[in-house]
Structures are given as C-alpha cells and as structure tokens.
Structure 1
Amino acid sequence: MAIHALTTTGFSFHLPFPKCSTAYSRSAGDRARTLCCSSGDGEFSGLINVSTESEFERRGGAQMAKSSDGKRSIQSSDGELGAKNSEIWQLFREAQRNILSLDKQRALAVEELNKAISEKKLLLERIEELEIEKQAMARKVASFVTGLSQALQRKGNLVEVILPKYGSMDLNEVQGIRETEVEYYSYYNGQLHGNKIWTGVICGIGVTFIQPLYYSSFFNREKAYGYSDDFERFMYFSRAALDYIVKSGKKPDVLHIHNWQTAIIGPLFWDIFVQQGLEGSRILFTCHDIHSQPLIQPEKLALCGLDPTKLHRPDRLQDNPNTHLANIMKGGIVYSNKVVIMSSTHSKGHIIHSSSHGLETTLNMHKDKLLVSPCGFESSSWDPEKDKILPENYSADDMKGKSVCKIALQQKLGLPENASIITVGCFLSDLSDLSDVDKEDLIAIVKNGTRLAVQFIFMTTGKMKSGQKELESLQVKIESLQDENVRFINRHDETLSHLIFGGSNIILCQSLHDPILQVPLKAMRYGAAPIAITSNDNGFRHFPDHDYETTKLAMFINSTFGYLSFSQALDEINNNPSEWNHKVFDAMTKDFSWDAECCDIYLSAYTAIKSL
C-alpha cells in the first residue's frame, strides 16, 4: 500500500643545585645529617659529618683538599673555615628552600592537573547532554511522522512524507538530500508560483520538502507555527503538495493529512484534484488537537482555488457556533474518508460529547468514520533497561537500579538521601490549561505530602506559550513552603528529566491525555505511577453508545491509575505495597510502541478506505 503523509511536521623536576645531593640518615643514637658533594666525574670531594650547625662551628671544622702532589693537606685557618662553613650552610638552606618550593609547585601542578581532568570530564558529559537534548527536541517535532511511518513500513507499506522546507530545520540528518532538476508550479492567489523540491531519506522514510520561491518568507522563519498568517502559509503548502503529487505522476492509495494545517487538502482533493489522476486515492485525517480550530473569513478559501460559496454551508466548512466564519478543522472531518483522533484516555463517546470543542454536531454526524487511537511511544529513546543517562539501568523484573536512580536524583538536587522516601516528579507545561481548582489541588498535594516527608520535584518543560505569570505565581507559592523536600526547576533539562522519571515513585500529571510530551507513558515505562493532579470522575464518565470503541491503552490507564487520587496512591504504597508493585509491573511491561495498537488501528483504517 502506498501512503503519502502530509505534515507540517607524570612530572619531572630538576633541582637547581647540580653538583650536590642531600641524604638524611638517622639512627637511634645519632642525629647527624650527611651532606654529600660530588664533582663532575662522580668523585667525592669531601665528607663532613655534623650533628648541628653550632657543633660544627664549635669544633672549628677541618677542610680537606687534595694538593697538587696528590697528598692531603689540612688548612686550619679559622677565618677560612668559618667562611667555608657559612657557604656550605647557605647552600644547604638554599637547597632546602628549593626542595620545599618544588614540592609546593608539584602539589599545585597536581591539583591543576586533577582540576583539568575533572573539567574535561564534566565538559564531555555536558556535550553528551546537549546532544541528547538536541535529539530530544528533534524527536518531539517528528516523533509522530517518523514513528508511525517506520511502523507502517515495517509491516510492508510504502510511505512517503511531504512537508514544507522550514528555514529552522536541520537537514544534516536527511540522507542523500538533493534538489530536483524540475521546478514545480502551484496555484495560489490567482497565479502559478514556482517551488523548489528537495528529496531525501530520514530513518528509512522517503521525504519531500517543498520550498516556495516567490513566497519564500512563508517557511523561512524561526518557528514552524504561531504567526498571524499561518492559514495563508499552510494553505499554500497544501495546494503545492497536491500539485506536486499530480505533476510527478504519483498515485498514492492514501493521502494521510494531519491537523488543521493540512485539513484543507480534503476539500481541495474532492473539488479539484480527484479528477486529475487520483481517482483511486482516499483521504485519512488525523487530529492530534481538536481544540485548535482556526476560523477564517470564507473569502480566503479562494486563495487556493476553492469556491467559498459552495463550501460555506452548515454541512461543509461553516463553523457551528460562528456561522459567519469557516472552520478548516471541520472541513478536514467532513471531507475525509476516515478520521482518527489521538487520545490516550478517552472513548469515542467522550470525545464526541465532552471534548469536541464546538464540533459535537459534526462529529456525531460523521461518527461512523471516526476512530480513536493512542499515540505510539518512542520506546527506543525512553527505556530504563538501556537509558545511558541513568546511573544504573533496571527493568520490571529487576528494580534494584531504580533505588540507585533515586539516590542519584536526591544527591543531584540536594535532597535528603533515602531510597525508601516516596519521591514525586511533576512536569509543568502550559499552565493556562490548569484551572484554579487544579492549582489549588496541586498546592494542597504538596502541603499534605511534605507533612509525610514526601519529596517533590517540579520541572518546567520549556518556554511557556502562555501562562508564564501563572507559573511564577505557582512557583512562589510552592517555594514559600520552605520545605527541604521540595525543589522547583524553572527550566527544562532533558538529562535531568530522565533521572526524575527513573528516581520517582509517582509522576503528577496535568492530564493523563498527553499526546505531545507523553508524560504518563514515560512514567509507566520507568516504573512511576502517573497520577492526575485533580481526580475527576466526570473526566471518565461513560457514554454507553460508544464506550465499546475505546483503546486498550485507555482502558488500562483509566482502570489502573485514572481513578486514583494522590492520597490514595500514597496510602497504597504504604499499606498495600504488593498491590502497588503489581500495578507498576503491569505498566512497565505493556507495549505502547508505534508497532503495537497505534499501528494496528491505522492499518485497519487504511484497509477500510482503500476498498471504498
């Protein structure tokens, strides 16, 4: 099956005393020091035994020298002896000073060497951390596309991904990237515009990048999304992608489009392109975030060649509550053969009736083509058995390494070190999604937990899109508790995040449905229970007509952790450890990878629409 996915997404010291060497000897009854002086040929020019300087001077000394006839002569001049005596002691003291100085220099040098070795080690560790963070950010952008595409390809399907050539994109990971010789034209705003086409391979998946020439500023920007002209940008890309597919002679079985950014492909396909050699192709629309529904003036649909008068109708693109506007997300649902909504916890009934964000009528009308799928999990990147960041690896069958990870986490953050202390991690993303009730519940959890010596570690997941003031307010409230068992890290540290998952017993989650960061799935994989900040039974209430259409992941996470409050989790850890350990074991051994349930659902959807 041919599938096209369209997405936006040692020291040597020399003594300066060359002719002299000192040797110190001490016996039980003799405290004499011996100074040996040798000539250049190695002969001893003299030997003087002294116990103290005063004794040497008292005896007057005796200087021995060779005469020209080879006989020894004794010179007894007191003046000369005194001078020689003074000179020898001066040399002796100088030698001692030199030795002490050299010893000090050597100690300093050794200290500097050890410091340099330590700094080098830390630098290498930091370089590795930065590489891990860089890879992690890349995974967040392309996780769904590469993860699902690889899983589909492993099961015998041919997958090609088409996306804009973003200016911020690092193309070093694209193998064999090249610019095609042919310039492809696409329609936009009444004219044809040229596009450069780049092709390559990522993780074994064929990728095509579309680069507008006239509208080069559309994608040559710092971010992929978040601009006032996003609709125009992605409308251009959607039309250009279809024009490229037709003109290159490709005939995919399935055109798989994602989110509102490419939802306009649905109307474009059926109104314009289906008669241009794509009669055998079908459309599958994946919605990762049903809350994101940009509304536009209907007239803007003409930019890509669509007829606003035909599309601005209640059964097509007209927004349900705001009837004077067009809803692109709605168009993707109406004009697709199958619609897959990504959710880790909700059933089809819950999505239609409680999480449709104004699209309940539309979803209910098209419920027969609606599917629910969990996101696949990047198990190769998040695996406690192989995680290089963890101080010691562990598995569901051998959990000893998790205690080591907890101690390492406590040491790193300056927390009291005790493997038996319950440790709780919490990753905060966009706090604007948290209600006032959620925030108060979170503060109450920390207050009650610290009374029981529970440790809390909070970390933000990056730059907040919004809710920065809420974050600062929450941080002030948490830090005002002034408890030694609480740490607040107002930055994202990819390396530390692995250690938090590895060392925690519980991970507090803003929501158990988290398709982007997948905190609940990471928690379960690392033997930490995902517990919602606010336990809300209404979030899991039943809708009998459609509750049978729920995912295996949703059934497991809801029945195991969904109804469990934080206080109940603490109670079970302390009073029913065998039951708690059983839950943790089950969670760690479940297969949430792309190859499991997620891929099976998509293959089923592809097969179903191919026969339409």
Structure 2
Amino acid sequence: MYVVQIASECAPVIKAGGLGDVVYGLSTELESRGNCVELILPKYDCMRYDHVWGLHDAYKDLWVPWYDGKIHCSVYCGWVHGRVCFFIEPHSEDNFFNRGCYYGCDDDNMRFAFFSRAALEFLLQSNKRPDIIHCHDWQTGLIPVMLYEIYKYHGMGNQRVCYTIHNFKHQGMGGAEILQATGLNRENYYFQYDKLRDNFNPFAINFMKGGIVYSNAVNTVSPHHAWEAHYTDVGCGLSHTIDLHQDKYRGILNGIDDNFWNPQTDRYIAEPYSIDNIDAKAKNKQALRKRLLLQEVDKPIVAYIGRLDGQKGVELVHHSIYHALYKNAQYVLLGSATGAKINAQFQHEKNFLNDNPDVHLELGFDEELAHLIYAGADMIVVPSNYEPCGLTQMIGLKYGTVPIVRAVGGLVNTVFDRDYDLDKPAEKRNGYVFNDMDYHAVEFAMERALWLWHNEKDEFRMLVKQGMDYDYSWNHPASDYLGIYESIREE
C-alpha cells in the first residue's frame, strides 16, 4: 500500500512533542511491513538539519494557489533515519516557516492552511497518487476538506484520508479569510453547522472539525481518550461532531519506538539490561545518583519526566516531590515549564532543595538524561489532568520503572493497578492508578508503591518484570491502522 503521511512534525528532525514521535514511529513500522511510506512536512528554518541525509531538490517550481494568485515553492527530499521526507519551502513575503519556531505565531492558522494546500498541490503536480493520505492534528485538518471539495475534480478522486487527532485542545480557528486564501471561497456553504462552522462560534471555521467531517476515518490516540472526547468535556466542544460521525471514529493506542527506547540497546544508559537480567538496572540507578549528586542510600527513586503545565497536573507533580521525600524516597525531575509562573515556581523549589542529597530538579530537557532517568528510577509519576495517550508510562514499563498514573486517557489503557484492577489477573497488573485530581489520591497511590518497595522487595521486583513483559511497541497499533486503511480504501 502507498501511504503519504502529512504532518507538522516528524521526530527527530521536527519535534515539539509526542506528535513527532508518533509520525516517525508509525511510518517506520508501516514501511517495515512492506508498505511504501512518504512524509510531507514544512521546511522550517529551525528544524534539525543534522538528522536529514541527502537533502536535494525534488520539485523546484511548485506554484501553490493562494488568494487570487500563486505562491512559488521549492520542495526538497531527504532521508530522516531511513524515512523518505519531502519538505515544502514557500518563497513568500509571509515567511511562513522561517520564524525560528514551529508554533506560537499569531498567524499559525494561515501558516498551516497554506501548508495543507501546498501539500495537496505537490501531490497533484508530481503525479503522486497514494492509496491513503494520513493527516495529523489541526494543522492538517483542511486537507480532507480541500481534497474532496477541490482536488478530487482534478485527478485525485481515488485518494482516501485517515485523520488522527492527537490533542483536542488545539483545533485551529479562522474566519472567511481562510476560505478565500485556500480557494474554498464559498462562505455560505462552509459556514454551515454540518461543514466547517465552529460548534460554538458562528463566525469561525474550525480546522479540526473539518478534518472530522470530511475524512474517511477519524481516530484519536487511545481507546479511553476516544471515549472521553465523545462523552465528556475532553472533546473541547467537538463531542457532538464526533457523535454525528461516530461510525468512522475510534481510538488507537500509540506505540513507542523499540529501536530508540530499549534498555537492551540504549546507548545513553550506563548498563544494558532486560527482563532476564533485571539486576543490571541497579547499575543505572547508581550512575544516575552519581550524575545528579544524589546520596548512595537504600531508598527508591521516584521520577517525573515531561512538560510542567496544567495538562500534566503540575500541582500534583509539585506535591509528589515533597511526599516522596516524606516517605523516605529520593526524587528526580526533568521537565521544562510552558509558562513563566510555573517556571518561577519550580526554579524557587530547585533553589530551596539544592542542598538536599535526596532530590534533583532539572529544569529543561536533556534527551540523554531522560534515558538514564528511565533506566535508573524505580517509579515514575504521571499525574495528568488529561492525557490523550502518554508515552512516559509506556517507556517506564519498558525500562522496568513502575508507573504511578492518574486514570485518564491512554494511561487507563496501559497501566493496571496492582491492588485494585480486578479486571486483570494479578500477574498482568503493572503499576498504580489513582482517580481524583487531588493530593490525597496521588499520595495514596505513591504510598502503596513505596510500601511495596520498602517491605516486599521480591513482590516489587515481580511487578517490575510484569510491566516489562508488556509490548507497547508499534507492532499492534500499526496493524490497527492498516486495518483502517484497508477498510476505507475499499469504500
């Protein structure tokens, strides 16, 4: 099958979050199964060019319709760790992708509306006719709209679209100027409720809603998050649209890249280990303490790795630091704050705890250190307010680091409480889960995990091995996506 992935990110060349990991990991697994996979991405000035091999001109003169004229673009081709990627570079005074950032500009809606039109124009003009166009998140939500309202009348009538939503919080909004710029134009038509009009703002079009309405298949990145978006406010206003299109909507759990996250082959950790050689994990704990100047003592290490913001439950992250210390554990945090207030708070805590030999707060992100923390920690806390899928807990399980998670999104689909998950046999439970978004809830889950480590080390070791035994690679998700591709290709 010929599949083209169109996205705003692909790790490691363009990565702002989990989207990049998913696009790369899924593409790799699909290609390993004999499918032809190509990716179309924006050519940002700030992307990691050191991860692109053989970058060369692929299509020099791509003229993309925009408003009443056309914008000249160049398309480059290169290999990103084996994946064939096409990078679109517009030559325009708008300077769409030469901003020194991926997101965060006032005209992001225009930037990615243009990218969507340019991606389709490139497919049309280069005579590429994939079986499946797989689009990701709000940035590409207009692609199925333009495909079925414009491009199917110009020789692209057989292409089918799978649309994956990674985060409902960011949906992409715009006014009539988006329709005019992209050539969709007909305001009276597209501002209807069953088309692009936002469910709560009659004067705005919603990119993500367009993706849901016009695509052949829609999914989000875990089964439980799919249910949450359909039936709770996690859908951020799109629940009714999902309900109208529920026949083509589902959740598929993300995977992790076994080539990158694997304690047997990880070049960033001190000592490789596996489920059959779990004792070697202790060498990584020792190396982590040495690197972060923690005291060598008979205590568990609790970790947090991720953004410091409201989505990630930043208040509970903060509370977990002091509760771990109170319960005779050490704590390691690696995270970057998304706001000045949160950053100032954690900078204050870092200064306050600086001389404590049982805690280290690393504000920022360090890829190498992240691997060592996963390998060296005993437990990892994921107290998210909401979590579409979550990679942290799956990586933790892979590295034998017991997850302590809140019962939301993909965390529900991957972590099963050792003491209370009666739907799973005891030998299939792999962590600790709490429900409420309060201090008592996270304390109780942490206390159960820490008690087991302190008092029943053999039982804790068994729990570690039960977690490592789970396969959260891209093997199963890729099969699910291929099933979707096959079903919509036959429509």
Q: Say yes or no: TM over 0.5.
A: yes
Who is 2:253 aligned against? 374
Shift in CA distance, 227/517, structure 1 to aligned 2, threshold 3 Å:
farther
Given candidates 84, 93, 109, the residue that maps to 1:206 is 84
Please give the per-residue CA displacement for 1:344-367, whole angstroms capped at 9, x wherever unaligned. x72532231122111110111111
**Worse-superposed segment, 571-580 or 377-386:** 571-580
1:447 partner letter: Y
Q: Aligned equivalents of 2:51 and 2:324: distance in 1?
A: 45
Is 1:234–2:127 an aligned residue pair?
A: no
Per the alignment, residue 267 of structure 1 pairs with: 145
User: What's the counterpart of residue 452 of structure 1?
Assistant: 327
User: For residue 476 of structure 1, what is the aligned residue in structure 2?
Assistant: 348
State the shift of 1:302 in Å.
1.6
Map Cα deviations across residues 268-299 of structure 1 (whole Å, 9 max, x no partner): 11111112111211111111111111221234
Deviation at 1:161, TM superposition (A): 1.1
- The letter for the 2-side match of 1:609 is I
Deviation of the 1:151 alpha carbon: 0.9
Alpha-carbon shift at residue 139 of structure 1 (Å): 9.6
State the alpha-carbon separation in 2 of the partners of residues 597 and 434 from structure 1: 26
Matched position secondary structure for 1:412: helix
Contact 1:140-1:516 within 8 A present in 2 as well: no
Paired with 1:323 and 1:214, the residues of 2 have a C-alpha distance of: 31
Question: Which structure is larger by alpha-carbon Rg, 1 or 2?
Answer: 1
Query: Aligned pair in 2 of structure 1 residues 455, 479: CA closer, same or farther (>3 Å)?
Result: farther
User: Deviation of residue 415 (structure 1)?
Assistant: 2.0
Q: Name 2:188's counterpart in structure 1.
A: 309
Q: How does 1:202-351 map to 2 (within 5 A)?
A: 202-215=80-93, 217-306=95-184, 307-343=186-222, 346-351=224-229
What TM-score do you get using the length of structure 2 for normalisation? 0.87
Give me the whole-angstrom Cα distance separating, in 1, the residues matched to 2:210 and 2:462.
Answer: 46
TM-score by length of 1: 0.70
Residue 404 in structure 1 maps to residue 276 in structure 2: no
CA shift in 2, pair 1:404/1:264, >3 Å: same
Other-structure match for 2:467: 587
Q: Is the 8 A contact 1:443 1:478 kept in 2?
A: no
Residue deviations 1:237-282 (CA, integer Å, cap 9, x gap): 1112112211222221111111111111111111111121112111
Contact 2:144 2:214 in 1 (8 A): yes
- Is 1:389 the counterpart of 2:273 in the alignment? no
Shift of 1:568: 1.6
Structure 1, unpaired ranges of 5+: 10-132, 541-550
Mapped contact 1:552–1:597 kept (Cα < 8 A): no
Count of aligned residue pairs for this structure pair: 466
Give the residue type in structure 2 aligned to 1:247: Q
> Within 2, Cα distance between the matches of 1:389 and 1:404?
13
Structure 2: 5+ residue stretches without partners: 422-429, 435-444
User: More displaced, 231-240 or 578-587?
Assistant: 578-587
Residue 587 of structure 1 deviates from its aligned partner by: 1.6
The residue type paired with residue 133 of structure 2 is L
Deviates more, 1:325-334 or 1:217-226: 217-226
Take 2:8 and 2:370, find their aligned partners in 1: how far apart are those partners?
27
The code of the aligned residue for 1:3 comes to V
Is residue 509 of structure 1 aligned with residue 385 of structure 2? no
Shift of the 251–185 alpha-carbon distance from structure 1 to 2, 3 Å rule, reads same
Contact 1:299-1:308 within 8 A present in 2 as well = no
Q: Is the 8 A contact 2:139 2:172 kept in 1?
A: no
Cα displacement (A) at 1:338: 0.3
Shift of 1:314: 1.1
Query: Post-superposition shift, 1:220?
Result: 1.8
State the identity as a percent: 28
RMSD of aligned residue pairs (Cα, Å): 2.8
Q: Distance between the aligned counterparts of 1:178 and 1:287, measured in 2?
A: 31
In 2, distance between residues paired with 1:278 and 1:136? 28
- For the 8 Å contact 1:152–1:599, the answer to whether it is kept is yes
| Residue type at the aligned position of 1:589 | D
Q: Report if the CA contact (8 A) 2:302-2:377 is conserved.
A: yes
Q: Which residue of 1 aligns with 2:45?
A: 167
Residue of structure 1 equivalent to 2:413: 554
Match of 2:477 in 1: 598
How far does the alpha carbon of each residue in 1:571-596 deviate from its partner, in whole angstroms, 9 at most, with x for none? 232344444323221221222222x1
Equivalent of residue 154 in structure 1, options 29, 32, 48: 32
Contact 2:109 2:173 in 1 (8 A): no
* Counterparts in 2 of 1:313 and 1:216: CA distance versus 1, 3 Å: closer
